[in-house]
Structure 1
Amino acid sequence: MSSYFPRTKDLTRTRRSVTDSPPSSPSPTEKSFRHDRLSRLDSSGENIPDRLGRTSSYIRRETRLASLNKPEQDITSKDYKKMYADALHENDRLKSRLQDSKQELVSIRSQLEKVTQRQDRIAEKSTLLESEKKEKQALEKRVSGMEDEIKVLTELKMDNQRLKDENGALIRVISKLSK
């Protein structure tokens, strides 16, 4: 089966050396070598070279660690004071940023509230417009119905007036005939 991805992960292998493996418990011979290394330090803490005139890295490291453990009051107190001042400065800066963020949050919330109120008003207006349109249509229907009734009424009034006139004329004709 072919793949679109290169197989570099499968092909590239690295060898581990003995130093890459995790440390194991020291053997009895290593313990004696360590004892020899420690015995090379004299009482003042200075290195005593081994048979070949070299000082081991272990001894150098031990002396470095011993020199670092010496308390230096002025340096550490200044460092702590500086660190404290830096921390206070950072806290003040963060507090001001927090205040700014809170103010920005309040302004954004008020803007959001205004926008939602506008949308509510628009929605209310649209519902009012729809109801007004329905009312307008209903009123237009009533007006057109009333106009039709007015036309019918005027026709009825005209018919009624014509009938009154005819009735009056008939009454006159009958009264002339009866004389």
Structure 2
Amino acid sequence: MSSYFPRSKDLSRTRKSLSDSPPSSPSPTAKNFRHERVSRVDSSGGDGAADKALGRTSSYMRREARLASLNRLDDDSGPKDYKKMYETALHENEKLKSRLQDSKQELARIRSQLERVTQRQDRMSERSSSVLESEKREKHTLEKRVSDMEEEVKVLTELKSDNQRLKDENGALIRVISKLSK
């Protein structure tokens, strides 16, 4: 019976694919694989990808530490309680799913807020552009009125000077006529 447990433990490790979580007690090859994966992400991703890779690595390390502590407890106490391990893994998965759902809801809420802000800014820019256009039109009409009034002022000054000249001529003619009639 004692030979059964190590074999089942080895079989469970060989059945896992590379995309699954890392083994509970990391072997040197698993550590190297994780290191290669992180270094590949670091070399291709830039600063943001490095931060994400470090975050993933730290979460993997925390999970490994938890699983290693569970394995140590199980190794010390005798045969493993797979049902209990399954229930704890299931419970942890449920917690992670609920956190993921909460994160998705928060992301949707933030996206809707961003969309509202963007729409508000668009409306404000449309209003400001329409106000700007109306101000330009108003400025143009006012400039036209000013230029028309300047022309009228020029015409009025010319008319005043013509009127004054005609008054002077009229006065001279009246004097000439009065001298002739005497």
Q: Per the shorter chain, which TM-score range?
A: 0.3 to 0.5
Say which structure is richer in helix.
2
- Larger CA Rg, structure 1 vs 2: 1
Higher relative contact order (CA 8 A, sep 6+): 2
Question: Structure 2 length as normaliser, TM-score?
Answer: 0.47
